[in-house]
Amino acid sequence: MAQYSAELDGVFVALADPTRRAVVRRLGRGPVSVGDLAREFPMTLPSFMKHVRMLETNGLIRTAKSGRVRTCVLNRDRLALIDGWLAEQRRIWEERTDRLEQFVTGPEEGNP
């Protein structure tokens, strides 16, 4: 459970930055080279590479080098970690609102 929590924390930290979320969104359309991807953002390549490393370290993307070109690919399986957590939270809150609804719409005590 601690491993799951640490992995989930890392993914959320990686996605907390708008640049990294934009990278994930862009990679959702397909693989792209780091150079082409970096051109979409107003920062130097070394600064952009810090974002790439953060996403890669937390398993959200994979990179592969072919010659002089490094290509980024979205790791969709890693997004399942977030999806699972959100599904669990959704279930918990739906149960709570169901109980609240039963309480509010149930018969009042003392009235048959």
Q: Are 75 and 62 contacting, i.e. CB atoms less than 8 angstroms apart?
A: yes
Tokens, residue 77: 């399986």
In a domain, 110, yes or no: no
- Of the candidates 63, 85, 60, which has an alpha carbon nearest to the alpha carbon of residue 75? 60
- 3-state helix/strand/coil string of 66-79: ECCEEEEEECHHHH
Q: Is the pTM of this model over 0.95?
A: no
Instruction: Specify the pLDDT at position 111.
Output: 52
CATH number for the domain spanning 86: value is 1.10.10.10
In a domain, 13, yes or no: yes
* Total number of domains in the chain: 1
- Please indicate whether residue 9 or residue 92 has the higher confidence score (pLDDT): 9
Q: Which domain holds residue 23?
A: 2-105
